[in-house]
Each structure stands twice: as structure tokens, then as C-alpha cells.
Structure 1
Amino acid sequence: MNVLVIEDNESVCSMIEMFFSKEGIIGEYVNDGIQGYNRYKEGSWDLLIIDWMLPGMDGVTICRKIRQENDSIPIIMLTAKDSESDQVLGLEMGADDYVTKPFSPLALMARIKAVTRRANNNAGNSTEKGLLKTQHFKISKEAREVYLNGEQITNLTPKEFDLLYYFAQHPKQVFTRDQLLERVWGYQFYGDERTVDVHIKRLRKKVGTDTQPFFHTVWGVGYKFDETIQTSEG
């Protein structure tokens, strides 16, 4: 695995490099946002790890620019910002995952394995039909396209698409947050449950309405996808 790490904290880079060596991962480290973005364009990478606060160009801007050019490369953002609004912004810009500093190297490795495994699975399934039709949705796994009542939804992040597709495969089935972290993100126990909540909230805004959010909270358990329920929940 060839990973570009855009991070200006030398201690964080040293820690990541130590664990990369144990995992057989090749890492390249750039401490400036503009230089990091330029290096991304020059190389061939399996994964990008991008710090939020960087000299030259911030990580959110880098992520947004990369997503305009490449919607498949896995991106993990590192940041000391832990508010929900910050997390939403990072995910909205196209990050596949979000790791808050300080973090456990083992947790970071679990997320790296998860996002790259999922990216490889998507690539491996590119020849499959992958067309899912429900009462209101038509979702193409191969083209990664979503149509709601015949109109294309074009503003979903990669992880929002994955979550919608998974729920649409299992209508009316209730999933806990831990189950969703394991089955959609691909890791267990290391994930922040707020990640699930943020994605559900964004999906409700993007594909649902106040009376038909599609994603419903099952209090004390988790969430389910149900197109038949009319509600005031939003």
C-alpha cells in the first residue's frame, strides 16, 4: 500500500511511520498543504491521510479539490476539531473517515484497513450489475448513481452513498450504530458512533423530507430504512 500523509506535526508523522513499517505500508510525508496537493497529483496513491490544519492550504480545501478530480481514492482526515459541525464539513468535502486527535495508532490502522478494503471491494465489483430498485430509489452500485423518484441525486459523499445502498438492501431492518460501523465502514469498536449519526442526519436532508425522511430512529437501538412510514421526524 502506498500512502500519502499530508501532516505538519512531526510527532504525528513519526508515530504513523512507525506503525506503517510494522504493517508493510509505504508512506510519504509532506508538511505543507500546497506541496501535499501537488504531490498527490504527481504520484499514484492507495490512500490519502490529510490533516485539517495545514500551512499553505488547509486539509478541507485539499479534500474538496481532490474529490473534484477523483471520487474513488480513500481519504482519512486527521484533526483536533471534534465538534459535529466540523465533522460534517470534513465528510461533506468528501472524506471517507474522520479521526480526531489525539488518536490511537491501532484505531487509525483499523480505519485505514477498513476504507481501503471497501475501496478494493467496490473496484472488484465494478463488473457486477449492482442495480437496486426500491419504491422511491434506483441505485446503481457500478455507476455509483442514485435516482430518487426519477431525479438524480448528485451531492452524496462516497460514504453517504455506501450507507444508503446498504440500508436500501435491508429495508425495515433495524441496525445498531456498531453494526453500521462494522458493515458499512468496515471496523468495529474503534469507530465514533457520532460518525453514523452525522451521516444519517445528512442523508435525511439530502434525500428525505420532513414527512418522509426514509431513515428512522429506533430509540434505544439504532436506525432503519423504511419508505412506507410518513412522519414528522426530520
Structure 2
Amino acid sequence: MRRTEMGRVFPFTYKINERDMAVDSVVSIVAKIGEYLVAPIGRQLGYLIYYNTNVDLLRTRLHELKDVQLGVQGSVNAAERNLEDIRPNVRRWLTRVNGVVEAYDQFFNDDVKANQRCVGDWSCPDLKSRYQVSRKAKKKMPEVDELLRQGNFNAVSIPRSPLTIGSTIMGDLEVLQSRKSTFNLIMEALNDDKVRVIGVSGMGGIGKTTL
């Protein structure tokens, strides 16, 4: 189409617009790819930059978990002395915490201390070691936080049902021969047609009502 006096239409105008749209699409795609590339790189660098933060935070959380563990274990010991049944979820929590504490103590004793020894030795691959230790500390944090949340138990045990007074007295009566003989005398009196009134006397609490 050629240029006209009325519409002043240029056929190459549409080609320019299409080209601009193509360029915009390419720029958008490149920008999106850049986001996907920059985010992982930034996260990996963060393990190096925040090494002390990650390690110290995990150490603090682990100390808090140990304190909660001691409290729960103390409550469990007291409940067991009272012959109470420990709740299954409490036992599972303690078992899991024992394993986590043991594994993380080993992590600090082995990995963290090994990295600290490398700091003053320039021949040691310090950056690689710091990256690995910091990454492990960051990955371990959610598990410790979860155990801290779960360790807030309202009760660690199920109290046993108390014995009733009647069952206690009957148990005593079955043991004491003197009370058996008294019971037999009363039964004989009841079977005697000549006996009109039967009286039972004695101190309080010896089982008169039960007889």
C-alpha cells in the first residue's frame, strides 16, 4: 500500500510494530530467566555470608530444645514414680528428640569445629567448608523448631483411677481373720429364730457398715 493524501498510511508501520513486540517478548523472557538464575545464586551465596548467623541460631535452638527435653523427662520420671501411664506421643517425642540431639551435637563437634580449625590455615578450602556447614545448619533448623512446638505438652501421663473406699475395706476384710469370725457370728445370729435384735459395736472405720 502506498502513501495516500487522506489516510497517510505507511505499509512498513505494521512491520515496525511487530518488530517492537518481538523485542519486548525477548526482553521479558530474558528477564524471567535472569530471575530464575539470580535467585539460586543469591541463596547459595547467602550460605557463605550468613555462616555465623545460621550456625549460632541452630546452636541456640538446640540449647532450647535440650532445656525442654529435660523438663519433659523430669515430668515423665515423676509420673512413673506415681505409677502413672506415660502418654504414647510423649514417649515418641522423647525418642525423636534424643536422636536429634545426639546427631546435632555430633554435627557441632565434627563439622563446625573442623571448619573453625580451617580458618587460620589458608591452604584449607575454607569457603567450601563454610558453605557446607552453613547449608547444613540452615536445613536442620525446621526440624528443631518443629520439636520445640510439639514439646509443649499439657500433660505427659494418664493418672490411674483411685481405689474406692469400699474396695479398700473389702480387701482388708478378706485378709483379717478376726473380721471373718465376726461376720460368721452375725450370720449365725441371723439364722437363729430366737434372736430379735442384733447389735454391732466398735470404733469408727473398722467396717461395721460394710458388714
TM-score normalised by length of structure 1: 0.18
The higher radius of gyration belongs to 2
More strand by share: 1
TM-score with structure 2 setting the length: 0.19
Give the number of the structure whose residues are more often helix, by fraction: 2
